[in-house]
């Protein structure tokens, strides 16, 4: 993007839809209208991948790097398409409005989409074949993987019978035939999601609202990607991880973060001309207008931890062929809009690659008042134009929660001195939003929780924890007209307005 703009970070799950979780239905379109009315250019969301109760419902831990979250399918749109009756929707049980009750929502949504599949057998949709062919490079294997996962009662793929684990063609052909009904059902579920998603994206495009999506750098071990492409990962003879991913000890954690994802074999990826990675990024660029690569530094050098370690201390840095990879990527995707998540330990080689490829990085205002203001890159007078500026992200506390629970007296003193006035818990969010809007940064993104001035209970995620994350939801009409007017006025004042409404 060449001109100034701003947007709101609000994941689809956080929308105030009536079935226990935000979805791609009427409330998503209403929010797009609200973005247009407040003259925003961007709607940032988190990954759309399937979530699992086992991984705490994190969109960053998924069974697929390509598939989509069926919980986001709108029942109301399925009624409009004739796939469900209104009577079938009446079976919805009471669910909380202010947070997602994932176990209850999962049971109910799965029941609804299965009913839609049964009804769809009697009704052909002309776009089904088109979407199936366009996405066949991942959809066929993913659908079979999910059918096999069910067939083998949830066992991890490496514990399946050897001929299935190792993908013997004759065995897979026989199983595909045996499990055809389940395979077709999984394909149908993904088709419904994609149909609803691209309709919403078209609606946003018409209003000049760019959807800003997120792509995790790593994939989960128990995923279709590992089963289909084990040669791309550092696995042992039994196809279990030899090394896993994480980050080293830093000021956030004395033992680092042990993520546990399998590590890529970049030598193999390079021999394959990075085919899987290129497909993955192209896929995300179809879903989104802008793609943020999470833990970008891992594409330059990654922290490799021997499997079996209890924490991330005994890891080592290993270089990846970053220059070659980005040369191939930008040759095939010359107009790709990619944002680098460059938070954490960033070395000069990461900055050099970003500069060479003109990739914007990220600045976080919650980090702006910790260190020497002459050198701290997050303090506003040190911002650069080619960056995305946030008050905080989904991994941070809310602005108010940070001020009340995390900011030290020294940090508060520096903040007050910088602003020339005293800040309180009641106005900290407004002060940081104004700093973000007036910054030279070309793009400013504000989490919805900060626009609302909410405290720590509205935090979306606490890194390195499993319980209690990804649940926060926006209440109906919580984003009041008065707040919308304030956002619009500030957006216009600081030259970030989207004038297409």
**What amino acid positions are annotated as catalytic residues?**
294, 341, 395
- CA 53 to CA 466: how far, in whole Å? 10
Structural contact between residues 396 and 366, judged by C-beta atoms closer than 8 angstroms:
yes
Residue the block writes with tokens 């897979």? 172
Q: How far is CA 149 from CA 116, 421, 495, in A?
A: 22, 59, 51
Q: What count of other Cβ atoms lies within 10 Å of the Cβ of residue 33?
A: 15
Which token pair is 110? 């799965």
Half-sphere exposure of 213 (CA within 13 A, CB side): 24
Quick check: helix, strand or coil at residue 99?
strand
Torsion region of 74: left, alpha or beta (phi above 0 gives left; psi -120 to 50 gives alpha): beta
Identify the CA nearest to 311 among candidates 377, 256, 370. 256
Question: Taking a C-beta distance cutoff of 8 angstroms, is the pair 139, 279 a contact?
Answer: no
**What are the C-alpha distances in Å from 196 to residues 141, 406, 444, 481?**
22, 40, 28, 28
Which letter does DSSP use for residue 407 in this model? -
Question: CA–CA separation, 49 vs 69, rounded Å?
Answer: 5
CA-to-CA distance for 197 and 28, rounded, in angstroms? 10
Query: Which residue, among 350, 347, 248, has the nearest Cα to 304 in the 3D structure?
Result: 248
Nearest to 180 by CA among 172, 191, 170: 172
The encoded tokens of residue 68 equal 């989509």
Measured CA to CA, the distance from residue 201 to residue 209 in angstroms comes to 9
Q: Let me know: does 274 contact 294? Beta carbons within 8 Å.
A: no
What's the angle, vertex CA 235, arms to CA 231 and CA 240, rounded to 5?
125
Give the CA dihedral 172, 173, 179, 180, nearest 10 degrees.
Answer: 140
Q: Which two three-digit tokens encode residue 71?
A: 């919980």
Maximum Cα–Cα distance across the chain: 73
Residue-by-residue DSSP string for 426-459: TTHHHHHHHHHHHSS-SEEEEEHHHHHT--GGG-
Strand arrangement, sheet containing 243-247: 257-262, 243-247, 301-306, 316-319
498, 209 Cβ separation under 8 angstroms:
yes
């Amino acid at each position: 993007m060449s001109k100034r703009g701003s947007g709101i970070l609000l994941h689809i799950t956080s929308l105030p839809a009536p079935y226990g979780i935000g979805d791609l239905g009427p409330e998503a379109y209403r929010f797009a209208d609200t973005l247009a009315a407040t003259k925003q250019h961007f709607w940032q969301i988190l990954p759309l991948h399937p979530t699992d109760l086992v991984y705490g419902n994190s969109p960053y831990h998924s069974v697929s790097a390509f598939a989509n979250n069926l919980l986001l399918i709108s029942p109301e749109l399925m009624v409009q398409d004739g796939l469900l009756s209104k009577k079938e929707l009446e079976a919805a049980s009471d669910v909380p409005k202010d947070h997602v009750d994932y176990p209850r929502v999962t049971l109910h949504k799965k029941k609804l989409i299965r009913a839609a599949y049964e009804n769809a057998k009697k009704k052909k949709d002309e776009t089904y074949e088109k979407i199936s062919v366009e996405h066949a490079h991942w959809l066929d294997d993913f659908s079979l993987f999910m059918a096999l996962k069910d067939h083998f009662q949830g066992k991890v793929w490496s514990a399946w019978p050897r001929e299935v684990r190792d993908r013997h063609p004759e065995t897979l052909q026989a199983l595909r035939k045996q499990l055809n009904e389940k395979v077709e059902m999984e394909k149908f579920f993904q088709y419904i999601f994609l149909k609803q998603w691209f309709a919403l994206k078209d609606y946003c495009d018409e209003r000049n609202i760019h959807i800003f999506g997120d792509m995790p750098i790593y994939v989960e071990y128990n995923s279709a990607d590992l089963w289909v492409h084990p040669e791309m990962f550092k696995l042992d003879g039994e196809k279990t991880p030899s090394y896993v991913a994480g980050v080293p000890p830093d000021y956030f954690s004395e033992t680092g973060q042990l993520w546990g994802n399998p590590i890529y074999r970049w030598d193999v990826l390079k021999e394959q001309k990075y085919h899987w990675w290129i497909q993955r990024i192209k896929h995300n660029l179809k879903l989104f207008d802008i793609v943020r690569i999470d833990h970008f530094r891992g594409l330059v050098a990654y922290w490799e931890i021997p499997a079996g370690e209890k924490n991330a201390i005994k890891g080592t840095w290993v270089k990846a062929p970053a220059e070659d990879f980005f040369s191939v990527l930008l040759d095939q995707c010359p107009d790709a809009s990619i944002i680098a998540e460059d938070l954490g330990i960033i070395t000069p080689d990461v900055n050099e690659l970003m500069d060479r490829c003109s990739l914007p990085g990220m600045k976080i205002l919650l980090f702006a008042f910790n260190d020497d203001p002459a050198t701290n890159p997050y303090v506003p007078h040190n911002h650069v134009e080619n960056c995305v500026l946030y008050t905080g992200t989904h991994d941070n506390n809310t602005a108010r929660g940070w001020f009340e629970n995390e900011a030290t007296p020294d940090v508060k003193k520096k903040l007050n001195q910088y602003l020339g006035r005293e800040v309180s818990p009641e106005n900290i969010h407004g002060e940081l939003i104004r700093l973000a809007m007036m910054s030279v940064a070309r793009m400013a993104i504000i989490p919805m929780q900060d626009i609302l001035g909410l405290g720590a209970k509205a935090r979306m995620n606490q890194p390195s924890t499993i319980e209690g994350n990804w649940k926060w939801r926006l209440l109906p009409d919580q984003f009041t007209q008065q707040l919308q007017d304030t956002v619009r006025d500030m957006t216009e004042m600081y030259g970030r307005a989207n004038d297409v409404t």
